[in-house]
Structure 1
């Protein structure tokens, strides 16, 4: 016979599972949702993930938003969080590639200083994340400047709050072309990758992950460790991310 006190403890135990709150770059959504689902099945801990541009998330963390982990799409924004004294542990988790996507089916493009990007737009807009603050936009602008193409298209750029919003503009046909990560393009059937930017045309695309000083329990540390285990890496690679050696 189960004693009443023991029965109450058993009934209460699922609600006592430790929660993990993660702030993560929007481009991680599909892969990170899958990693988190596996972690929750295995451990019983709940994982709540807020996705947005890394710039927005970093500012929210610095202003005191209750996050246990932060995964940024750029070292710059992670550096600012660390400089604010809010990083307990940190490691470079993933990499990515920068691509040009088109709405629907389209012919491939060789991206070089000779590319007539303005001509390819044909009066339409080039969708990008915010070029001065969101990592995908910053990488994209850097690549266009390196190739000498920025001045040709800067007046035609339609900027969005994050890379997934830029991807949506192309997928719905509101913009004929966009610059996004390869992983975003792979997650959207409404676009076609027409070209890849040379890796030396922009800074390396790096996703640092951090356990924040506000993390309070073993569940937070367990999820941070799980992000770099072999099971998680297999998920990230399947979604098109590159992983450190």
Structure 2
């Protein structure tokens, strides 16, 4: 009888150990999944919407952490070229993505032209200015114009393209204050440090301290396209591609649209 009882106790102990071992293995697997971090270099104009996307993705993929690094697309491009460990690049212009692609730093198959934005002219909310159009910025009454630095900041490149086509670029350069990214341009206009500035529609939508004067004239404005791609040296290519695919879903594209972006047609 005692032998039977002893056998039962031993059997229970073995079964318990097996269950605990199984749980331990699962816990280890879960722990490993939780350590997966995707580093994403994203244009400054994507700051607000990507914070919302990160919250949604955490619910969908709790074992993946999204670490966003924001800045001008040109500065982010330079960081990647200098060896920064990045999994995904979300640029505000094709120029920077093209440059990385030529150096084989991005996975070309993963690239997608994800979004479109609009260029707008803004003034401080309480401004008494008579500015009504991009052409008005050439007038002597306009003293300070905030623009993105054209060598590294896409919004500055797009802006200069508009002024070039309108034939007033030289006059604008004389009164330009150049910001390190589009958010700095927005801040200068909000504070009234400048008469006006050129930002993206999405940046203008998040501020109640400015007034949108108009969109850039279609005859002079190039399409503002946002490409996204997985980096060639990403250590988490599968997870990175999965996130890029997630950005293309109807749910997330609608979220982008709520912030003022448009789907690429």
Question: How many equivalent pairs are there?
Answer: 242
Q: Which has the higher contact order (CA 8 A, sep 6+)?
A: 1
Determine which of 241, 250, 254 is the counterpart of 1:221: 241
The answer as to 2:150 corresponding to 1:131 is: yes
- Corresponding residue of 2:53: 35
**Superposed, which structure 2 residues align to 1:81-96 within 5 Å?**
81-88=100-107, 89-96=110-117
Deviation at 1:220, TM superposition (A): 1.2
Deviation at 1:215, TM superposition (A): 2.4
Distance in 2 separating the partners of 1:199 and 1:177: 20
Distance in 2 separating the partners of 1:99 and 1:72: 19
Deviation at 1:40, TM superposition (A): 1.5
Which residues of structure 1 form unaligned runs of 5+? none
Task: Indicate how the Cα distance of structure 1 residues 13 and 172 shifts in structure 2: closer, same or farther if over 3 A, else same.
Answer: same
The answer as to 2:238 corresponding to 1:238 is: no
Distance in 2 separating the partners of 1:214 and 1:37: 26
Which residues of structure 2 form unaligned runs of 5+? 1-15
Deviation at 1:227, TM superposition (A): 1.0
- Corresponding residue of 1:192: 211
Check whether the contact 1:78–1:208 (CA below 8 A) recurs between aligned residues: yes
When normalised by structure 1's length, the TM-score is 0.91
- Corresponding residue of 2:133: 111
Check whether the contact 1:108–1:194 (CA below 8 A) recurs between aligned residues: no
Task: Indicate how the Cα distance of structure 1 residues 59 and 166 shifts in structure 2: closer, same or farther if over 3 A, else same.
Answer: same
If each structure's helix is expressed as a fraction of its own residues, which one has the higher value?
Answer: 2
Could you list the runs of 4 or more consecutive aligned residues of structure 1 that deviate by over 6 angstroms after TM superposition?
none
**Superposed, which structure 2 residues align to 1:142-221 within 5 Å?**
142-217=161-236, 218-221=238-241
- Corresponding residue of 1:101: 122
Check whether the contact 2:117–2:224 (CA below 8 A) recurs between aligned residues: yes
Deviation at 1:223, TM superposition (A): 0.6
